Structure 1
Amino acid sequence: MAEVYEYVPHALLRKQVRDIASGAEGELMAVIHENVSDTAIEHWMDLAYVRLPSGCEFSTLVDNIEAV
């Protein structure tokens, strides 16, 4: 199996973003091309990691984020 993640450059890194799915807003901390499979068949997705004002972070699909 290949590496389980890879950092991806993104124009909105360290900018304020909104998660369209939840409406939550915070700072985009990283975009990671991540193997989310728990089987032998690899399934890769681009995940955005967003830090809320509280300091908690969550992940969402990178296609779900937009600039605030």
Structure 2
Amino acid sequence: MPTPPPHVPNPAGIGAPGAPASGVASFFHEDDHPWLHRPVRDIASQGEGTLTAIVHETSGGRTVRIAHIRPASGIEWTTAADNIQLAP
């Protein structure tokens, strides 16, 4: 029987304690995104709010960029980062 490979830390956190059961994990925040804390529009939903974060997540073996938007109601939603534009 072969010996299992040594443990290699997973920067995405998949399978780590506390990682989401869905296998989607956040591993990088774009702290320097020029639109952070500015009004944006989600072109998919036409909703508007303040961009609070852009997070890189892994899903299905690929990396996706997710935008977190907080409207005046305070209930945030997420959308693909490519779906946002600055609000007029």
Shorter-chain TM band: 0.7 to 0.9
Q: Does 2:28 match 1:6? A: yes
Q: Which runs of 5+ in 1 are unaligned?
A: none
From 17, 34, 57, the equivalent of 2:57 is 34
- Max Rg structure: 2
* TM-score of the pair, normalised by structure 1: 0.85
Q: Does 2:76 match 1:57? A: yes
Q: Which runs of 5+ in 2 are unaligned?
A: 1-9, 13-24
- Identity score, percent: 36
1:7-44 Cα shifts (integer Å, max 9, x gaps): 0131100000000010000000000011133xxxx221
Please state which structure has a larger fraction of its residues in strand.
1
Aligned length: 64
Give the AA of the match of 1:6: F
TM-align CA RMSD: 1.2
Cα separation, 2, equivalents of 1:11 and 1:24: 20
